[in-house]
Structure 1
Amino acid sequence: MNIGERLHQVRNLHGLTQEQMVAGIISKSQYWRIEKESNAIRASSLIKILNQNKISVLKFFKDIDDSGIKRRELQDLVTNAYFARDYKKLGKIKHTNLVLDDYSTE
């Protein structure tokens, strides 16, 4: 997984729009290109984005090489969708055939 893919994943896990994710740091269009891997991101901008959204820099990079969503992230995703009553999102999670037992605990 690359940085753009990881940013996209984390942003969705936190339920943020692109504008919310980068508010005041870089433009939405620049961020969109970063998620699509057509632009690189400066380390300083990445750290500002993560800190602004209370995302651990260490956890972000620890998980970047993993091929799947960790058990805790999946639980957070399900919990957030449930409490937001986002049944469409819950359906998407169900249809991805992700099984909690397939993921190691942190």
Structure 2
Amino acid sequence: MLTIGDYLKHKRKDMHLSRKAFAQGIVDSSYLARVEKNKNEIRAITFIELLNKNGISLGDFLDNIDMLHFQNYLYQIKVREAYIAGDLDTLIKLSKNPVTSNIMRIVVNWLIAILTDQIDTFPEKNKVIIKNFLLEVEYWDDDVLWIIANCLGMYDLDQVNGIINRILGSYTDFAEYNDYKIKLLAEIAVNYLELSIKEDSYSIKQAKVANYIDHLPACSSIFYEKLKAKYIMQTHQLPKINGSISFILESI
């Protein structure tokens, strides 16, 4: 996911400028370093001043943001198709894609570890990187939801409860979401149910998550997730809200 810091760093290096030269007269180089490392935010007026000083148009920034979102979407689709097909060669190639973010490449390496039964040796530092990223990022766009959907199994149930609470409480305007976001939300919820089964740990939250999936809009893209949630809840007799949960699948 491209950040303002990533963009400024990329443009500065393309221009072969030091931080001091790039930021001179606007901010000090140490501040720019923190922005480039995504450790500091930057005011909009300061950002525009940096662009103007270095002859970079605001349109270039907006075009790069839009193009990157599309590129990330295509990348995520390729990863999903390769993972479902068990295509390790393609996943390995995607894990080395220099265009996408380091975070997304870590996600792909995690999926490779799952397919090769090497999750026990997956680097702890990579788990920490993902965890810190999720703690620091304020807005969860589709890219962040994709990361969560694919990496939930990295952590223990207790470690992901906060994520699930945020999903259940914040992502409820289903009519405003496209099919892709709905799909990601459904995947996160189902993955949480599977994690609870794996850890043999059940609570009222599992029922709330299943209820959340049940209330996602009827669309063919999440038929599998709705059916899987029903199967998990019925097979493992997880607790229900107020004694019952509707698992009637909408006509699709």
Match of 2:47 in 1: 46
Q: Could you tell me how far apart the structure 1 residues matched to 2:57 and 2:18 are?
A: 19
Structure 1 residue 60: Cα displacement: 1.5
Match of 2:35 in 1: 34
Q: Could you tell me how far apart the structure 1 residues matched to 2:9 and 2:65 are?
A: 12
Stretches of structure 1 lacking an aligned partner (at least 5 in a row): 68-95, 99-106
Matched, 1:61 2:85: no
Q: Which runs of 4+ in 1 moved over 4 A?
A: none
Paired AA for residue 64 in structure 1? I
Match of 2:17 in 1: 16
Number of aligned residue pairs: give it.
70
CA contact (8 A) 1:3 1:64 kept: no
CA RMSD of aligned residues (A): 1.9
CA shift digits 1:2-45 (9 cap, x unpaired): 11001110111111110111101111111000000000000000
CA shift digits 1:38-71 (9 cap, x unpaired): 000000000000000001111112103434xxxx
Compared with structure 1, are the counterparts of its residues 97 and 62 closer, same or farther at alpha carbon in structure 2 (3 Å cutoff)? closer
Match of 1:4 in 2: 5
Paired-residue identity, %? 34
**How does the TM-score come out when normalised to structure 1?**
0.60
Paired AA for residue 2 in structure 1? T
Greater percentage in helix: 2
Q: Which has the higher contact order (CA 8 A, sep 6+)?
A: 1
Stretches of structure 2 lacking an aligned partner (at least 5 in a row): 69-96, 100-252
Structure number with bigger Rg: 2
- Secondary structure at 1:37's aligned position in 2? coil
Q: Could you tell me how far apart the structure 2 residues matched to 1:42 and 1:33 are?
A: 13
Q: Could you tell me how far apart the structure 2 residues matched to 1:65 and 1:37 are?
A: 20
Match of 2:123 in 1: none
Q: Could you tell me how far apart the structure 2 residues matched to 1:63 and 1:5 are?
A: 11
**How does the TM-score come out when normalised to structure 2?**
0.26
Paired AA for residue 6 in structure 2? E
Compared with structure 1, are the counterparts of its residues 23 and 58 closer, same or farther at alpha carbon in structure 2 (3 Å cutoff)? same
Compared with structure 1, are the counterparts of its residues 38 and 63 closer, same or farther at alpha carbon in structure 2 (3 Å cutoff)? same
